[in-house]
Amino acid sequence: MTVEEITVERKKIDALTQLEACRIWRFARAGHLWFQSDGPLWPFFEAKFKALGG
């Protein structure tokens, strides 16, 4: 991923409500970009999800 792509996706993650975060956590397809543990976005999503109360 490029820096620009990471920035765009991080803004999407930062804008999530608790309901949206839980919904994507539950219903995202396998291999979703945000949930790849070796990818650059997982730490951002994980922190946001925990901050919202999971």
| pTM (global) more than 0.85 | yes
Determine contact, residues 8/41, Cβ cutoff 8 Å. no
- Please give the pLDDT value at position 54: 82
- Please give the pLDDT value at position 46: 96
Instruction: Name the average pLDDT for the chain.
Output: 95
Q: In terms of C-beta density within 10 A (0-12 exposed, 13-18 middle, 19 or more buried), how is residue 22 classed?
A: middle
- Please give the pLDDT value at position 25: 95
Overall domain count for the chain = 1
Q: Which residue has the tokens 């990471």?
A: 6
Q: Rounded distance, CA 31 to CA 19, Å?
A: 21
Per-residue pLDDT of the chain (54 residues; tens, 9 = 90+): 899 999 999 999 999 999 999 999 999 999 999 999 999 999 999 999 999 998
Containing structural domain, residue 29: 3-51
